[in-house]
């Protein structure tokens, strides 16, 4: 790494007043450092370099701004840099207001940085607090996210994982689930947003986090929100169901066309199943899912699914749908206290299950690769 004198010289080039060619070489060098873990850890101990990068996101040169944003994305991907970036620089106050500019070219990079910084609770709170203090707030963030073409120069897809990360906080979930704001209803259509897996995944993650607040389950499943079709449609396929099974389904899931395709990403499929599973934690949730005939959709999905982790999540949901009701006093599964020895045993069994699923997945991938090689011959 750099000696103290070399670092001092390099830092002197990272100012708004410096000649563009010299400054460009300096930012290019810093960008190279952020491309590996050692370089990121070196910069962790150099807050002046972090401050300079944030300042230069306002440079007149597009090339220099691009390098700085790229470097900040790399740095924010490293969890150990989250505190230095948030506490030692003005990264939040400098970048967040620019999201509201419909002409700002680098808004997608800002979304990525904020998404990275909000992954863990401590800095997630810092991001949430900054949004409130800078008069952007969740309401404005959702409005920008849901306004198609808000920024003609940026897709803003990474606002979705940012929203998902923010909803790990109770206060963010409280806002999303406010019955008078109609926020969650605006997000629901994006569970099937074909143009971006990032946007779909972030919205599904947001819905899953919100479903941890079980007091809202009945409202979420009511006609006021009608969350169920938006969770089920991505999991439903073209299989023909009996007339009786179709009639019992929500209208949007009845008599699906022969070209109906399921969600292509296994991680999103798993999150959808986990969200449905959370809705079965309460007695009212289980009753509604059973009355809406969710089981036939899951039955056909289970036959189709190949990913071991997703299959496991599906089987747990099916068990909740067709199994016996818990005994009196244990109807709300989120309030049941599990004895420590039982919890440890369950964790041990879960770890073994995960290990077996990984083995199954590797064997499946190996057999698929061998099949492809056979075809190529």
- For the CA atoms of 333, 337, 340, 343, the dihedral, rounded to the nearest 10 degrees, stands at 0
Average pLDDT over residues 293-301: 96
Give pLDDT tens digits for 244-283. Answer: 999 999 999 999 999 999 999 999 999 999 999 999 999 9
* C-alpha radius of gyration, the chain, whole number: 24
Give pLDDT tens digits for 88-140. Answer: 999 999 999 999 999 999 999 999 999 999 999 999 999 999 999 999 989 99
Residues 6+ apart with CB under 8 A from 316: 273, 277
pLDDT, position 346: 47
Average pLDDT over residues 317-337: 67
pLDDT, position 367: 64
Give pLDDT tens digits for 167-184. Answer: 999 999 999 999 999 999
Q: pTM of the entire structure?
A: 0.87
DSSP annotation of 62 reads H
Give pLDDT tens digits for 131-167. Answer: 999 999 899 999 999 999 999 999 999 999 999 999 9
Give pLDDT tens digits for 17-40. Answer: 999 999 999 999 999 999 999 999
Question: How many residues are given for the chain?
Answer: 377
Percent of residues in the chain assigned helix, strand, coil, to nearest 5: 70, 0, 30
* DSSP states of 276-311: HHHHTTSHHHHHHHHHTTHHHHHHHHHHH---HHHH
- Exposed e or buried b for every residue in 34-54, given b needs 16+ CB within 10 A? beeeebbebbbebeebbbbbb
> Helix, strand, or coil here: 15?
coil
Answer whether 163's CB lies under 8 Å from 141's CB: yes
pLDDT greater than 80 at residue 334? no
């Amino acid at each position: 790494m750099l000696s103290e004198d070399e670092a001092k010289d390099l830092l002197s080039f990272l100012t708004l007043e410096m000649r563009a060619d010299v400054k460009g070489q300096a930012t290019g060098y810093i960008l190279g450092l952020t491309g590996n873990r050692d370089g990121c850890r070196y910069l962790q101990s150099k807050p002046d370099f972090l401050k300079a990068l944030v300042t230069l996101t306002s440079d007149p040169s597009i090339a220099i701004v691009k390098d700085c944003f790229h470097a900040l994305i790399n740095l924010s991907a490293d969890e150990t840099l989250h505190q230095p970036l948030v506490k030692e620089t003005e990264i939040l106050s400098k970048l967040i207001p620019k999201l509201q500019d419909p002409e700002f070219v680098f808004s997608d990079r800002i979304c990525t940085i904020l998404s990275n910084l909000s992954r863990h609770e401590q800095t997630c709170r810092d991001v949430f607090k900054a949004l409130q203090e800078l008069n952007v707030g969740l309401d404005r963030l959702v409005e920008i996210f849901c306004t198609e073409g808000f920024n003609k120069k940026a897709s803003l897809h990474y606002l979705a994982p940012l929203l998902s990360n923010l909803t790990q906080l109770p206060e963010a979930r409280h806002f999303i689930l406010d019955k008078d704001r109609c926020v969650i209803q605006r997000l629901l259509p994006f569970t099937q947003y074909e143009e971006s897996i990032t946007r779909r995944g972030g919205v599904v993650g947001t819905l899953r986090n919100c479903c941890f607040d079980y007091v809202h389950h009945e409202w979420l499943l009511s006609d006021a929100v009608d969350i169920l079709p938006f969770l089920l449609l991505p999991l439903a396929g073209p299989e023909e169901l009996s007339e009786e099974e179709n009639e019992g389904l929500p209208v949007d899931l009845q008599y699906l066309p022969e070209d109906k395709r399921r969600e292509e990403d296994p991680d999103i499929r798993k999150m959808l199943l986990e969200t449905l599973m959370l809705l079965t934690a309460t007695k009212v949730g289980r009753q509604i899912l059973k009355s809406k005939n969710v089981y036939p959709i899951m039955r056909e999905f289970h036959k189709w699914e190949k990913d071991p982790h997703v299959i496991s999540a599906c089987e747990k949901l099916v068990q909740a749908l067709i199994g016996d009701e818990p005994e009196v006093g244990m109807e709300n599964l989120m309030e049941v206290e599990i004895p420590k020895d039982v919890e440890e045993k369950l964790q041990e069994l879960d770890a073994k299950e995960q290990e077996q699923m990984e083995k199954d997945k590797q064997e499946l991938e190996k057999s698929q690769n061998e099949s492809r090689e056979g075809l190529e011959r």
